[in-house]
C-alpha cells in the first residue's frame, strides 16, 4: 500500500474530518509534501494556489456562515489542476477524500490545517535536508 493510499484509508475511517488527530494530520501532510518534493520543485506555486482558494473560502465563511457546496466544488477545481500537473496527484487524491469528510466549519478547519501543513513542509523539507547534510 502506498503512502497516499494509507492516508486516504485513514481519512475514510474518520466519521468527520474534524476528528483527525492533529499529530496524524501533520505527519500525513509531511509525507505528502515529501512525495511532492521528490516529484517536482515547481509544485510550490500550485500548492499556494490551493491554499489561497481554501483561505478565500475561510474568509467567506467568517463573513457569513459555513456552506458545504463551495467546499464540494473544490474537488473539480483541484482535479483540473492535477490533470494539468500530474505531479500533484498524491495531494489531489488525499484532498478528494478529505473534502468528502467535511460537514461543518470544524471539518473545514482541519482541511485547511492539512493544506497549510503541506505547504509549510514543502518549503521546509529542502532546508532540513541541507541542514542534515551539513551535520553529517
Q: Where are the alpha helices (DSSP H) in the chain?
A: 3-13, 22-39, 43-63, 68-72, 74-84, 89-99, 105-135
115: Cβ–Cβ under 8 A, 6 or more apart, which residues? 29, 47, 50, 51, 54, 95
pLDDT for residue 44: 84
Asked if residue 84 lies in contact with residue 9, where contact means CB atoms within 8 angstroms, the answer is: no
Rounded alpha-carbon distances, angstroms, from residue 67 to 29, 78, 118: 25, 18, 24
pLDDT (tens place) for every residue of the chain, 136 residues total: 999 999 999 999 999 999 999 999 999 999 999 999 887 655 788 899 999 999 999 999 999 899 999 999 999 999 999 999 888 999 999 999 999 999 999 999 999 999 999 999 999 987 777 777 777 6
User: Measured between alpha carbons, how far is 15 from 110 in angstroms, rounded to an integer?
Assistant: 13
pLDDT for residue 136: 63
Cut 0.85: pTM above it: yes
Amino acid at each position: 500500500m502506498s503512502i497516499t493510499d494509507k492516508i486516504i484509508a485513514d481519512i475514510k475511517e474518520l466519521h468527520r474530518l474534524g476528528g483527525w488527530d492533529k499529530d496524524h494530520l501533520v505527519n500525513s501532510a509531511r509525507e505528502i509534501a515529501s512525495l511532492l518534493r521528490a516529484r517536482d520543485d515547481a509544485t510550490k506555486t500550485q500548492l499556494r494556489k490551493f491554499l489561497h482558494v481554501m483561505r478565500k473560502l475561510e474568509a467567506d465563511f467568517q463573513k457569513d456562515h459555513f456552506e458545504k457546496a463551495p467546499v464540494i466544488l473544490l474537488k473539480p477545481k483541484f482535479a483540473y489542476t492535477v490533470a494539468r500537473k500530474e505531479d500533484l496527484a498524491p495531494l489531489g487524491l488525499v484532498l478528494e477524500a478529505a473534502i468528502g469528510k467535511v460537514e461543518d466549519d470544524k471539518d473545514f478547519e482541519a482541511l485547511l490545517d492539512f493544506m497549510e501543513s503541506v505547504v509549510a513542509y514543502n518549503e521546509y523539507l529542502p532546508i532540513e535536508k541541507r541542514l542534515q547534510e551539513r551535520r553529517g
